[in-house]
Amino acid sequence: MASKINIIGCGQAAGSLARLWVETGAVNVGCVLNRSESSTRAAVGRVGAGKPVTAFSDMEAADFWLIGTNDDQIKPVAKLLRERRVNREGALVFHLAGRFGLDVLASLDDGKTLLAALHPVRSLTHAALSLEDFAATACVAEGDPAALAALQPLVTSIGGTWLPVASIDRGLYHASVSIISNITKAVAWKAQKWQKKAGLPEETAATVTHQLLASTMDDLFRSGARQSITGPVVRGDTRTIEAHIQAINTSHPEDLEVYRVLARTVLELAQERGDLDEQALRRFEFLLGR
């Protein structure tokens, strides 16, 4: 018989995963509890399985308990699971927040339950996420060996890439994945504004940005940032950087610091690779700040 998963907090992330588990038949969705009754019913409708409940006391025993609430609610929900004496004997309780490890589940660390943190590293939305979309998604998991052994089949059943870690610095880890995803999007958004201001038609700006992002990703995957980076900083073209600064200062002076900070990161990489002579390095430090 397939195992059963209860879900407390069945929003975008937990709801997306639950739909994939239902599709593959890897696990049956048991009780579902959100903050509001209407949200619980809507979540069960979207997942296409599960029993909507309105209180912890209505939740039946299950093999897995997923706390899929927003980050700040994970700790209080874990505490409630303990205080309400919910039957979780031998079950695995896990959450989905990249920001936290096991510390946030500490109130359940009483030997009755296995505990794990599972971070699927992609944006999960209600919009129909298919098994194909999810395939190979990095799933960073933390827990003791028994918890990881219980959790791994749930991840691999929907095609996730299983990546166990131990005692990582969560602040730094989460900051790193946030800048890769969110800051890349924000930088592309800003660059397109500059292109429009420069006179490019909107569709041309979109094509230039998307094509450049795609080829940048190809380079990055093929040979890594250190190997594939090009451009005026690594070439030592100080006058080109001067021209960038002048243009941004004229059209978007409020963005000058953004440009300088990002270009300084490129400079750091160029320095690490040993690309620049002393004169170019000093000039760049003058233009971009240290």
Ligand X SMILES: NC(=O)c1ccc[n+]([C@@H]2O[C@H](COP(=O)([O-])OP(=O)(O)OC[C@H]3O[C@@H](n4cnc5c(N)ncnc54)[C@H](OP(=O)(O)O)[C@@H]3O)[C@@H](O)[C@H]2O)c1
Least distance CB 178 / ligand X (angstroms): 11
Helix then strand count (H, E) for the chain reads 12, 8
Taking CB under 6 A as the criterion, the residue among 77, 102, 158, 233 binding ligand X is 77
Output the CA torsion 27→121→41→5 (10° steps): 20
Binding string, residues 115-134; x marks residues near ligand X by CB under 6 A:
----xx--xx----------
Q: Does 13 bind ligand X (CB under 6 A)?
A: yes
Q: Does 248 bind ligand X (CB under 6 A)?
A: no
Neighbours of 257 (CB within 10 A): 11
DSSP 253: G
Least distance CB 144 / ligand X (angstroms): 21
Piece in contact with ligand X (CB under 6 A), picked from 28-36, 163-171, 193-201, 209-217: 28-36
Task: Enumerate the β-bridge partners of residue 27.
Answer: 3
CB nearer to ligand X: pick between 14 and 280:
14
* Total residues found in the chain within this entry: 290
CB nearer to ligand X: pick between 8 and 248:
8
User: 215: which 2 tokens?
Assistant: 């080829």
Q: Does 73 bind ligand X (CB under 6 A)?
A: yes
User: 130: which 2 tokens?
Assistant: 């298919």
Taking CB under 6 A as the criterion, the residue among 12, 28, 137, 195 binding ligand X is 12
Q: Using CB atoms within 10 A of its CB, is residue 19 exposed (0-12), middle (13-18) or buried (19+)?
A: buried
Interacting residue ranges for ligand X, rule: CB under 6 A: 8-14, 33-36, 39, 68-71, 73, 77, 96-97, 119-120, 123-124
